[in-house]
Amino acid sequence: MTACYLDHNATTPLGTPAREAMARAMEVTGNASSVHAFGRAARKIVEDARASVAALSGVAPANVIFTSGGSEANNTILRGIDAMRITSSVEHASVLDAADALRIPVDANGIIRLDALALTLEGATGRILVSVMAANNETGAVQPIAEIARLVKEHDALLHVDAIQWAGKRPLFEISAYADAMSLSAHKFAGPQGVGAIVVKDGVAFEPLIRGGGQERRRRAGTENVIAIAGMGAAADAAMNAVGDHAKLAGLRDGIEKALGDAARIYAKDADRLANTTCIAMPGVAAETQVMAFDLAGIAVSAGSACSSGKVEPSHVLLAMGASESEAAEAIRVSLGPDSTEDETQTFIAAWRDLHARTGRAGEAA
């Protein structure tokens, strides 16, 4: 069993509050759409959780729509709004593959080129939807959402923000204040896998991705996953109380990067990043080789996005940032969590140096 878990951007361990809330919800029998007492008990769990997610997001409960996860939330907005779509070249696959969109280039740190976005908006006609992630899942780079929103509103466009990596790490009201729609996923902030939410402003209409029932105010059909929703609500409550602790992880992350020194390439190092995330390339060693070697050493890391870890293609995010195909194929992601320790980061540093030495590059990281 892996002893050193450094892959929190892929999924966070299920927190005690979520686990306990889910256990209580398992004792409830009713369908949340039923009007009898059993159904009302299930409905109360859903609505209490909705209020918790709304509080975390800085919106009213009526603006929260539960989904099966972040990918469904992204797809619902991208496919459900009839508009010319504009996005960046470093988005998650659940945005890039959801619908055809114009892709705006990014700079060497993975930050969207505001001049290119402005030019594209000036040439656009009709209804426009801009979709940009708040923080990148592979590099942790933070996008200038306030500046993006200013450009979007100057052209009467809509702004969707994939806030999936942001939630639980920085205050969500910093995003919801600007976004017309926002996507969340519970398992990125110590909630269960398989549940997420769309946070949408009043008056923003979209066609449901899933039809066939009146659930979620007719914006997402299907019987609500009461147990998972209970866990998401409890995780949201816990995240509100702990979000300020995330910044402390920057010291651990910076310690890793300093220890590896010039032997490693750190992507987006000069950008504002999530405090827990570092994207590290080991020159000459394939990311898949690194992930397997670290796994054998009891350390869990990812080769880019966990959603594409089975692929052999280089990261599209790093390619968009200017890395060559060979460089992009050598990068791994280390993502820390609230329980990560200096002992764990020292274990990773030692394993990284050992692998580096065994590839014929001894001494460079010493």
Which residues are annotated as catalytic? 307
Residues in the chain: 366
Burial classification of residue 39, based on how many CB atoms lie within 10 Å of its CB (0-12 exposed, 13-18 middle, 19 or more buried): middle
Query: How far is Cα 190 from Cα 331, in angstroms, rounded to an integer?
Result: 26
Measured at the CA of 170, the angle between CA 167 and CA 173, to 5 degrees, comes to 80
DSSP secondary structure code for residue 142 in this structure: B
Query: How far is Cα 80 from Cα 101, in angstroms, rounded to an integer?
Result: 14
Query: How far is Cα 88 from Cα 21, in angstroms, rounded to an integer?
Result: 37
- State the helix-helix crossing angle for 37-57 and 226-242, rounded to 10 degrees: 30
Residue with tokens 């590099």: 139
Q: In b/e form, how buried is each residue of 163-199, taking b as 16+ CB within 10 angstroms?
A: bbbbbbbbbbeebbebbbbbbbbbbbbbbbbbbbbbb
